[in-house]
Structure 1
Amino acid sequence: MLVRITEMLKYAKKEGYAVPALAAVDELTSRAAIEAAERMKSPVILLCMENGNKDLCYFGKMINDFAIRAQIPVALVYDHTTSFESAIKGIRAGFNCIMVDRSQIPYKENVAQVKELVRIAHAANVEVESELGHVGMEGSDAQDSECALTVPDEALKFVEETDVDCLAVAIGTSHGVYKGKPKLRFDLLEKIAQKVTVPLVLHGGSGTGDENLAKTCRKGICKVNIVNDLYRSAYNALISDGMEGNRIYNLFPVLSKGYIETAMHFMKVLGSAGKAI
């Protein structure tokens, strides 16, 4: 069933678990994400990165249909829109939540641009996630830069000024592959969670470690984005199989199997397994 992301996450916040937001950029990954969630009786968020699908309007119709027919709660997020045009594109495509990322520009400009898109999105019955602080990119060491981390008082002010529905926070994670070991600022997360009432989101779930992820859920994270580990698991499944001879005809089922197994693992780690209601 298709549900609003805040409806889904309010239960997660209350019960101390997080909903996995899984990379879904085509039919294979979308079906795999939903199959994993149905097996685990877990809510799930389909996460399509900006420019992840070349025919976004058609893809949006397809995943809306998948979500409506699913046996578990499903929300749809168009992730990391970096321009006004891409955010509107996500709304037009039928995503019921857009992630507006202006985290790399000055605070006042961030607020102004996010506030404008929140007003437009809410008028279209679409919810908005945004980011304050800045989660590092592939190969970065986010915890090395204190200025990139989310400031609790600023987070509260940002939510009040923009009226965003969810807030992605920077507490030391990194998108993609880490450089070195992740070092999360749980103390900072606790302070943010005490001040901010909207659901908190963690980007850069891949490679963060099961123990760290489980702890973030207990400290207030309600949604965790996972991309790299899913793709890596699908690739590793192919390597393990070998795909020799006519085994190549099993290419896509094997990819799906690798993705599904890892998605199910994260549902256990984040505590969302069995929470579909």
Structure 2
Amino acid sequence: MLVPMKNILDIAKSKGYGVAAPNVWELYSIKAAIEAATEEKSPIILDFHSSMGDIFEFSEIAKFMAKKASIPIAINLDHGQTFEDAIKAIRAGFTSVMVDRSTLSFEENITEVREIVKIAHAAGISVEAELGHVGSGQMYEVDRTKGLTDPNKAKEFVDRTGIDCLAVAIGTAHGLYKGIPHIDIDRLKEIKNKVDIPLVLHGGSNTGDENLKNAVKNGISKVNLFTDLSISGRDSIINYIKTNDKASLLEIFKAGFDGYKQKLKYYIKLFK
């Protein structure tokens, strides 16, 4: 069933578990994510980035698959960096949009996020925004401590924007890490004590099981994932071809997305 992301995350926050938010982009990835969540009896958030394809084309497939499912499913625009993409996602039937203005100043971030919140909420759509900035794993050793979320500004940001969930920068990074991930749990605890909405962790892949379990235990309600799922799918394809040298393209695709699915199930279990 298709629901606003707020519905899923408010329950997750109240019960203390995390919801996986895998990046998906077409039929097979959407199907793999929904199957993984259904088999684990878990809600799921389908994250879509506009660089992965056409917003309207993706939405039609995702909505069709979500409406057939027995579990709660939200469709979220991931890292929406333009006003136009946010409006497209709202028009296309997404149930949530992320407004990423994390590289702007505090005041500019608030102004631009608040504008989308007013429009999205009028349409019954949830809004996620980011305070601080989650950077690239390849630059982790250089800028890990740059752009961390300021707990003292978190409450003001939430109050002034009216967002439904807040993505926080507490030491994770996007992609593969160059260095050892260090998650600032004390910072997370402080943010949680200051705001009363669900918190989101970007850059969940290869952050480490204990780090992720501690993050969920201490307030994270949504964990974004892609790199680890992609690697698992790729490795499944390589292994499948080695033992099935006459496999069809369809069989190869299915093997890849089965690897993606199994890794996602692993994370769903990890987040309880």
Q: TM-score, normalized by length of structure 2?
A: 0.96
Q: Deviations over 1:13-42 (max 9, x none)?
A: 122110000111110100000000111111
Aligned equivalents of 2:227 and 2:141: distance in 1? Answer: 17
Aligned equivalents of 2:179 and 2:154: distance in 1? Answer: 27
In the alignment, what sits opposite 1:124?
123
CA contact (8 A) 1:143 1:183 kept: no
In the alignment, what sits opposite 1:9?
9
Show structure 1 runs of 5+ residues with no match.
272-277
Select between 241-250 and 99-108 the one with higher mean Cα deviation: 241-250
> Partner amino acid for 1:21?
A
Correspondence 1:183-194 to 2 at 5 A: 183-194=182-193
Runs of 4+ in 1 over 2 A off after TM superposition: 142-147, 242-245
In the alignment, what sits opposite 1:264?
265
Shift in Å, 1:162: 0.4
> Partner amino acid for 1:182?
P
Shift in Å, 1:65: 1.7
- Distance change >3 Å, CA 78–CA 246, structure 1 → 2: same
Aligned equivalents of 1:9 and 1:73: distance in 2? Answer: 11
> Partner amino acid for 2:85?
S
In the alignment, what sits opposite 2:22?
22
Shift in Å, 1:142: 7.2
- Distance change >3 Å, CA 110–CA 29, structure 1 → 2: same
> Partner amino acid for 1:187?
D
- Distance change >3 Å, CA 232–CA 115, structure 1 → 2: same
Select between 133-142 and 181-190 the one with higher mean Cα deviation: 133-142
> Partner amino acid for 1:245?
D
Aligned equivalents of 1:162 and 1:35: distance in 2? Answer: 35
Q: Secondary structure at the match of 2:78?
A: strand
Aligned equivalents of 1:17 and 1:247: distance in 2? Answer: 40
In the alignment, what sits opposite 2:152?
153
Q: Secondary structure at the match of 2:88?
A: helix
Identity in percent: 43
Q: Deviations over 1:60-99 (max 9, x none)?
A: 1221121111111111101101111111111112111000
What RMSD, in angstroms, separates the aligned Cα atoms of the two structures?
1.3
Q: Secondary structure at the match of 2:247?
A: helix
> Partner amino acid for 1:10?
D
Select between 239-248 and 10-19 the one with higher mean Cα deviation: 239-248
Q: Secondary structure at the match of 2:37?
A: helix
Q: Secondary structure at the match of 1:76?
A: strand
Aligned equivalents of 2:59 and 2:127: distance in 1? Answer: 17
Aligned equivalents of 1:43 and 1:15: distance in 2? Answer: 13
Q: Deviations over 1:145-164 (max 9, x none)?
A: 53410011201100000001
Select between 117-126 and 128-137 the one with higher mean Cα deviation: 117-126
Please tell me whether residue 245 in structure 1 is matched to residue 251 in structure 2: no
> Partner amino acid for 2:72?
P
Q: TM-score, normalized by length of structure 1?
A: 0.94
Matched pairs, number: 270
Q: Secondary structure at the match of 2:258?
A: helix
- Distance change >3 Å, CA 145–CA 211, structure 1 → 2: closer
Please tell me whether residue 49 in structure 1 is matched to residue 49 in structure 2: yes
Shift in Å, 1:124: 1.6
